[in-house]
Structure 1
Amino acid sequence: MDDDLRVTDDIALPRAELGWRFSRSGGPGGQSVNTTDSRVELRFDLAATQALPEPLKERALLRLANRLVDGVLSIVASEHRSQLQNRRAAEERLVAVIAQAIAPPPRPRKRTKPSKGAIERRLTDKRRTALRKQERRRPQD
């Protein structure tokens, strides 16, 4: 379990469920540049994983629906020149995306009434603005 990717204290993604693809990074360069397969694509089958409890998996599938292709989440990293660094960056990104997707929804906002002072300040500002605009007008004949 210590080789797994830790999402929260009690949830970890097993590395056995991660799929890797490597390719050459794009970008400018001259002779013999980008000859190593440093670009990393990390694939995680969110729909089939057993690492997440069912309610959290459903929440993640719902929240990440626009990023999934057949239930698979794909993360690409190519900002580093080293494949190892790109692998680490992709893993960190995957953990962040999953953690955000399974986070509980925020508590609903409790409606509050503006204070009397706030209402009075708003009305005073409105009167001041109206007067300023009225003074800009051309005098009527």
Structure 2
Amino acid sequence: MDRISRRSQGPEGVQWFGNHRISSLLFADDVVLLASSSQDLQRVLTERFAAECEAAGMRISTSKLAEAMVLDRKRVACPLRVCGEVLPQVEEFKAYLGVLFTSEGKMEREIDRRIGAAPAVMRSVYRTGSW
């Protein structure tokens, strides 16, 4: 995936700390493509990323949770297509070791979820004597 991601990169992405750009996040076989507009993301997805996947003998599986999410404080439509199918747009999803991402960029639900899990973790640690 790293090779496909590197070969499909272009000027799109999101600006991060000054003039650094991030165009994708990779974890095992999961990929998150980033762009600052739906047009840029559509271009990356179909013209470069899908083409690089195909060149490597792979394809994007829309049945395996291919989704679109817009990070914005207000709802914005982002009708992305891949392989002729419109990707479902979601308001939140779990990725990267179970971290909850929301379209508004808020972390309150993730923090509450982790705080709620703490008692079970502490019981487990106490039972095993790992502390």
State TM-score, norm by structure 2.
Answer: 0.22
Higher relative contact order, structure no. (Cα contacts within 8 Å, ≥ 6 residues apart): 1
More helix per residue: 1
State TM-score, norm by structure 1.
Answer: 0.21
Higher-Rg structure is 1
